[in-house]
Amino acid sequence: MKSSYRLFLGLSIFYGILCFVYWLIGGEPLGVTALALSTGFAAIIAFYLWFNHRRLGTLPSDNEEGEISDLAGELGFFSPHSWWPLVVALGACATGLGLVLGWWLTVIALGALFVGVIGFSLEYEKPGASVEH
């Protein structure tokens, strides 16, 4: 992960310099905006990787003498079946169509998208569970 955040930090610096030079040469506003966004996005990814590197420490993939079996184990929880991604996708598509067809469809689609995101996020929460201190 150490090399990953350094790579994205380097990309962010490169895009920043490129954006500045392009702006000085008199580049079009769309190109300057795209390069500035690329700078920001690369910086966000670099920060995320750096933060996780500090939190998790050295990973087995960073060890040059590591074995493939060092990475064995549970990778995480993956939902076996869920209808919520379909609801989110349909809501996003309907929102995009609503921007073309009319505001009324956008309002309805944003409601469906909101319900889909909430359902997707809280799919495995237990109802009635409360945190007591």
Domain of 101? 84-121
Residue 76 lies in a domain: no
Query: Which backbone phi and psi does 52 adopt, to 5 degrees?
Result: -70, -35
User: Is 21 part of a structural domain of the chain?
Assistant: yes
Angle at 78 between CA 74 and CA 79, to 5 degrees: 150
53 and 16 in a common domain: yes
Q: Are residues 10 and 45 in the same domain?
A: yes
pLDDT for 42 equals 97
Tens-binned pLDDT, residue by residue, of the chain (133 aa): 778 899 999 999 999 999 999 999 988 999 999 999 999 999 999 999 999 888 888 777 777 887 888 878 777 777 788 899 999 999 999 999 999 999 999 999 999 999 999 999 888 877 765 555 4
- The answer as to whether 29 is a domain residue is yes
Share of the chain above pLDDT 70, in %: 94
Look at residue 30 and tell me if it is in a domain.
yes
Q: Looking at the 3D structure of the chain, how many domains does it have?
A: 2
Same domain (yes/no): 49, 90? no
pLDDT on residue 130: 57
Q: Pick from 59, 93, 108: which residue ends a domain?
A: 59
Residue 75 within a domain: no
Task: Provide the whole-model pTM.
Answer: 0.57
